[in-house]
Structure 1
Amino acid sequence: MYIPKHFQLKDEEIIYDFIEKYSFATLFSQHNGEPYATHLPLTLSKGESALYGHFARPNEQWKDIENQQVLAVFHGPHSYISPSWYETTMAVPTWNYVSIHLYGKMEIVKDQKVIFDSLNDMVNKYESTDSPYNLIDVDSRFMEGMSKGIVAFKIKITKIEAKAKLSQNHPVERQELIIKHLENTSQQDNIQVASLMKKSLQK
């Protein structure tokens, strides 16, 4: 990923928090000699420096993916930035966004306990705290049948690229104008980008 130095995100904790929050990723690999992508949730194990997930078994991306160097892209909020918000007309439009690229070695997981634990972690992550649903309570025979329909995997992270393009290359006064316009909207992406820009300015 092309990352100018003023947009480079280096803080590991910020990167990991971002992955946890925006965990629905796009997973790229080579399949049958061509680029191939699947959109799916991934869970992060900080201790192992690894990602866990699973394919639907009919998705044949898994068939030749083992031991490949794969790329998982985590997409954050993004916003169009209008030059009409600036203090000058000598400007052009741009786009603000945050994106994290994780590279790693793909491993197909067959251990049933590891598979269940990864599925359980995913359910616990997304179910609300007051939800009565718990994967542990699901009938074991039903779970065994459902598990046959997936292929679980682990990605051992080998490289992280993180980019936060939040107008850091503009004067502070202009950044504040952008934040003001982004906040004056009902679009959630705009509001989230404004919040990220504020945090960036506070550093």
Structure 2
Amino acid sequence: MYIPSYFELKSEREMHEVIRDHGFATITSLHNGSLTATHLPLLLSKDKKELVGHFSKGNQQWKDISGQEVLVVFQGPHCYISPSWYENQDTVPTWNYVTVHVNGKVQLLDDEDPRLWQSMVNLTTKYEQPNSQYDLHIVDPTYIKALSKGVIGFTISIDNIEGKAKLSQNHSKERVERVIAELSKKSNSNEQEIAKWMSKKSLPITLEVQKNGD
């Protein structure tokens, strides 16, 4: 991933935050000699050394992925930035975003590996609302076992992780403040999140760098 130094997300804690909050990821690997991708939710292991998830057995990507180094992309918040928000409009629009890339090797899990069932429980716990009455543990075990035969669990080692937070750091403090103010008025969650990220990452610093692309 192309990351100018002033957009680099260096904190592992912040990169893990992106994985936690935006866990629906894209896994890219080689399948039958061509690149292919699957979109699915992943969880960060407790020791933060692995990602855990499962493929549908009908998805042929799993058949030759074991041992491969794959690229996993977690797309965080992103939104359009209008020049109309600037102090002068003699410039062009851009897009602000936060993303994390992970490179690592895939290990497929046996059907009886307890990590497969636990990952399903953890996913349900994570995404169900706190007041939800749904409990995966009370679903008929026979039904769960039948469904489990239709999936392939896996882990991905986190061998390399890098993050990018393109948040107008190469603009003036005045301009950053204007953009934050405009984004804060929006109802869209992406724009609200970008405003928060900009307040955290862009306002504390002033960078005098020549714009050299996104």
The bucket for the TM-score relative to the shorter chain is over 0.9
Identity of aligned residues (%): 47
**1:48 to 1:98, Cα distance in 2 relative to 1, 3 A:** closer
Report the equivalent of 1:96. Answer: 96
Which SS does the other structure have where 1:107 is aligned?
Answer: strand
State the shift of 1:90 in Å: 2.8
1:42 paired with 2:29, answer no
State how 1:77-116 maps to structure 2 within 5 Å: 77-110=77-110, 111-116=112-117
C-alpha displacement of 1:202: 4.1
What TM-score do the two structures reach when normalised by structure 1?
0.95
**Distance in 1 (alpha carbons) for counterparts of 2:165 and 2:46:** 21
Whole-Å separation in 1 of the counterparts to 2:119 and 2:188: 33
| Residue in 1 that maps onto 2:22 | 22
Between 45-54 and 7-16, the greater mean CA deviation after superposition: 45-54
- Displacement of 1:105 in angstroms is 0.4
Question: Alpha-carbon deviation of 1:161?
Answer: 1.2
- 2:188 equivalent in structure 1: 187
CA distance in 2, matches of 1:11, 1:198: 16
SS in 2 for 1:194: helix
1:131 to 1:184, Cα distance in 2 relative to 1, 3 A: closer
The gaps in structure 1 that reach 5 residues or longer are none
How many residue pairs get aligned? The number is 203
What per-residue deviation string (whole Å, max 9, x for no partner) do you get for residues 149-192 of structure 1?
A: 10111001100010000001111111001111112222221111
Q: Work out the CA distance in 1 between the residues paired with 2:114 and 2:188.
A: 42
Match in the other structure for 1:118: 119
- Classify 1:183/1:48 alpha carbon distance in 2 versus 1 (closer, same or farther; 3 Å): closer
Distance 1:131 1:187, change over 3 A: closer
Equivalent position amino acid for 1:175 in 2: V
Q: CA RMSD in A?
A: 1.3
Alignment of 1:122-137 (within 5 A): 122-137=123-138
* 1:132 positional shift: 2.2
